[in-house]
Structure 1
Amino acid sequence: MADNSQMNDNERGLFSLVHGITGMLIAVVLLLTILVVLGFNAIIVQQKEAQNFYKINQDLNALKANSPDNHKYYDLVGK
């Protein structure tokens, strides 16, 4: 029985879409595009939220971890 996982000589190609240079370039361009889009969105969100800070108006000891009442102890200063 012949193993069908090997490529024939006529199926090989330097510029084939899946295993060649073209496939590698498509993958690299796609990953770089995703990186640029996510980085750009992160910068935009950071610039918007930098102006929307809050000030704690109570003692820090009054805050409890994961408490639903923590919103009572701070005021939004920005916007």
Structure 2
Amino acid sequence: MAERRWEVLKVRFCERAGCEVALEAQMAYPSEVLPDQPPRLISKRCSRGLECNFWDHMTCVWAGTNPLYDPFEQNP
């Protein structure tokens, strides 16, 4: 059976959250039966996306409230 894990891809300071946030990716690794297959990207999330979603103002694309702002696309 395939194994799924969340891994950190990038870490940035988010001006809107006021702290360091991590872009995480859920990766599916093949089982031992088919070891030659590369891992697959299943989904991505921000480490603070759920918390920012509850704020009264628009935050970013990862919170689902502002599709025009992505803190991971900005220059560090």
TM-score (norm 1): 0.22
- The structure having more radius of gyration, on CA atoms, is 1
Which has the larger helix fraction? 1
Which has the larger strand fraction? 2
Larger RCO, structure (CA 8 Å, separation 6 or more): 2
